[in-house]
Amino acid sequence: MVKNDIITDIKKELRSCMNGVASAAMRQTEDYRVNFGVELPRLHELSKAFEPDHHLAQTLWKERVRECRILATILMPAADFDEELCDIWVEDIRTAEMAQIFALNLMRRLPYASEKAFEWIASEIPMRQVVGYYTMCHVLRKGEMNERSAEELLDQLACDIHSEVPALQTAAVKTLQNFALQSENNAQKAKKMSDYLL
């Protein structure tokens, strides 16, 4: 159980680092209960004051505060983040920023990242697909993809690269770019697909 004073102290620290201009700008477009506009490097610095802890990360995620959620993705131990909890968190992601941060800070550390990425990409829920694509970017960087999986990914990208949902289109384009960077063969496939779709 996490003591309330730890969370209170974290929020006090976040308030002291608050960027009013960034917070106001984000408030126009982002779906958080509270948003302090604290920059990512400062949040990474703040996270160093804590050991990775499942309960603390869970409590921070439930706060529905942008910065608390980012800290949660940093402080959640990979070994304690099972697939069921992973799905619960992903269902609660509402912004492209959080999708990217979640994939970067947490999903790339998990052994089931590739499996989940394909599952989410095949979903009909756009934000879940966005999380899937950003997770796939990290899977690709590790070079963990066989020929069959690559073909499956290209099939999905062909459907989503021109999505009417801006966040999904952006995530799909970034994934295709990462795919192309993995090999000359991939680059040719990506170019062929891009030429065909254009």
pLDDT tens figures, 159-189: 999 999 999 999 999 999 999 999 999 999 9
**Residues ≥6 apart with Cβ < 8 Å to 109:** 78
Check whether residue 63 and residue 105 sit in a common domain.
Answer: no
Residue 87 lies in a domain: no
- As for how many domains the chain has, the answer is 2
Check residue 28 and give its pLDDT. 46
Residue 60 lies in a domain: yes
Q: How confident is the model at residue 22 (pLDDT cuts 50, 70, 90)?
A: very low
Average pLDDT over residues 18-22: 56
Check whether residue 71 and residue 129 sit in a common domain.
Answer: no
Average pLDDT over residues 78-86: 97
144/81: higher pLDDT: 81
Q: b/e per residue, 107-142, with b = 16+ CB within 10 A?
A: bbebeebbebbbbbbeeeebbbbbbbbbbbbbbbee
Q: What is the pTM of this model?
A: 0.89
Q: Which domain holds residue 58?
A: 1-80
Residue 16 lies in a domain: yes
Check whether residue 143 and residue 174 sit in a common domain.
Answer: yes
Check whether residue 18 and residue 75 sit in a common domain.
Answer: yes
Residue 56 lies in a domain: yes
Check whether residue 2 and residue 51 sit in a common domain.
Answer: yes
